[in-house]
Amino acid sequence: MLQTLGKWLWWERLWLPANVSWSDLTDSEDRVYAKASHLYAALPCALCMLLVRYAFERYLATPLADIWEIRDKVHFTAEPNPLLEKYFSSQKTSWPEKRIQVWFRRRRNQERPGLRKRFCEASWRCVFYVLAFVYGVLALYDKPWLYNLKEVWAGFPKQAGYWYYTLEMGFYVSLLLSLSFDVRRKDFKEQVIHHTATLTLLSFSWISNYIRIGTLVMAVHDCSDILLEGAKVFNYAKWHQTANAMFVVFTVLFMATRLIIFPFWLIHCTLVYPLEDYAPFFGYYFFNVMLSVLQMLHIYWAFLISRMLYKFIFSQVCRVLGLPRGLLPDGHARNTSPGRRPGGILTRCPNHLNWLLSTRRSSGSTLSSSRMSVLLTLSLRLSPATLRRKLISAACIRDLILSVTTQSS
């Protein structure tokens, strides 16, 4: 049965076009072709990556964090309470509700990774992406398929590119192995899907000799990831201007490579050009489906990045116009949770309303009775967080810009 399964798994029509067989890929003195057994090298490479990462974070990233004075935020330790630890429910204890909320907040903060750990992880990924991209450029700069995508299929399936593939596969295997002790981020599931799809693509493209297009896909991904991880590094080091500039450049490069070059050049190259020489086969469909999965993840991440860029631009507009800090979008204002302490958002929201009304009056414009009713209703009935969001809605911002323009002119 295993023999039958093996014959079916390595059936030529699954992996190769109709006019190509495994015998055409026999090694010669001057050329060694890709084989499935070569993929076993990815596992020891991944283990070596983990060792190198450990040494890098301990002997390079940690001293650099000390030089830049990156410190973990001090969290209050939750007082011992076996009942809450066991049941994690407020119904099992006689504590008042506010005390339970404080306990849960402190207990949650104890599990959060420190800033230094985030810095070390981002530093390692940034260094790897730089080295991988430089290696990819050196490996591809003199190749004709870098400048003419039709050359990707010239001589197919006789292609090569062993070490670049091994390096990338070892890195992504190491990322999967380290997910359990790395910082768990909001897009954890998407990261797992991305790493799995990437490894599947690399493995399949290696066995099917889709190696040239695979090297181009890796280079396109690595170039923008450098800026993302670099922006994180400088943000943790509190070099905010540098981090902001790198994030803006990263956003432009991400949109160009992942939403333009990747779908309209690379996926087009794998969808259209192979059909000029070969009839469609299973590998053709499978490879393009996996590329489409990656593209859907790119669209999802582009949405998240666009939202972050919007918040960043909005915060800069607020700073230029002199808006109070509490009017920033959620996530930009610090220490503004309801009822956290005197001087927080509960006491500052009325000031925001008064500031907005005074700005309207100083500009010489009048407020309609309907708009006044809306603002008063917001200030009296809505929660502080909702009030803040309403005050920065599109209508209020539009009126504010008009009033500022009128005043300046």
pLDDT tens track of the chain, all 409 residues? 666 766 666 777 777 777 777 777 776 666 667 777 788 888 899 999 999 999 999 999 889 988 888 876 655 555 665 655 554 444 455 666 666 666 566 655 555 667 888 888 899 999 999 999 999 999 888 889 889 998 888 877 767 667 888 889 999 999 888 887 787 777 678 788 888 888 888 888 888 888 889 899 999 999 999 999 999 999 988 898 899 899 999 999 999 999 999 999 999 999 999 888 888 888 888 889 989 988 998 999 999 899 888 888 877 766 665 554 444 344 333 443 333 433 333 334 444 455 555 555 554 555 555 555 555 555 555 555 565 555 555 445 555 555 555 555 5
Residue 131 CB neighbours (<10 A):
14
**Residues 6 or more apart in contact with residue 159 via CB below 8 angstroms:** 34, 209, 210, 211, 212
Based on the domain organization, do 375 and 309 belong to the same domain? no
Domain identity same for 250 and 362: no
Answer yes or no: do 297 and 154 share one domain: yes
Q: Are both 143 and 184 inside the same structural domain? A: yes
In a domain? residue 241: yes
Identity (one letter) of the amino acid at 158?
Answer: K
Query: Which residue, 284, 319, 354, sits at the end of a domain?
Result: 319
Query: What is the spatial distance between Cα 303 and Cα 301, in angstroms, rounded to a whole number?
Result: 5
The half-sphere exposure of 405 on its side-chain side, counting CA atoms within 13 A, is 6
What pLDDT is stored for residue 88 in this prediction? 47
Same domain membership, residue 402 and residue 258: no
Task: Tell whether pTM > 0.85.
Answer: no
Cα angle vertex 366, ends 361, 368, to 5°?
130
> Crossing angle for the helix pair 345-362 and 369-381, nearest 10 degrees?
170
In a domain, 4, yes or no: no
Regarding whether 313 and 353 lie in a shared domain, the answer is no
Indicate whether 246 belongs to any domain: yes
pLDDT of residue 295: 93
Domain extent at residue 351: 339-408
Q: pLDDT at position 339, please?
A: 39
The span from the CA of 287 to the CA of 284, in Å, is: 5
Residue 325 lies in a domain: no
Contact 115, 62 (CB under 8 A): no
Same domain, 300 and 404: no
Asked if the structure places residue 387 within a domain, the reply is: yes
Is residue 80, in this structure, part of any structural domain at all? Answer: no
Same domain (yes/no): 306, 343: no
User: Cis ω on the peptide bond leading into residue 157 (within 30° of 0)?
Assistant: yes
Residue 229 shares a structural domain with residue 359: no
CA distance 121 to 378: 43
What the block records as the tokens of 203 is 């493995």
Based on the fold, state whether residues 283 and 366 are members of the same structural domain.
Answer: no
State the pLDDT at residue 21.
75
Report how many domains make up the chain: 2
DSSP state of 259: I
AA letter at 37? S
Q: Give the Cα-Cα-Cα angle 35, 49, 236 (nearest 5 degrees).
A: 135
Whether 374 and 260 share a structural domain: no
Asked whether residue 180 is domain-assigned, the answer is yes
Residues 124, 102: Cα–Cα separation, whole Å:
35
Q: Does some domain include residue 368?
A: yes
Start-end of H helices in 178-263: 188-207, 211-236, 240-256
Give the whole-angstrom CA distance, residue 195 versus residue 197: 6
Distance CA 107, CA 86 (A): 13
Regarding whether 386 and 250 lie in a shared domain, the answer is: no
pLDDT at 322: 56
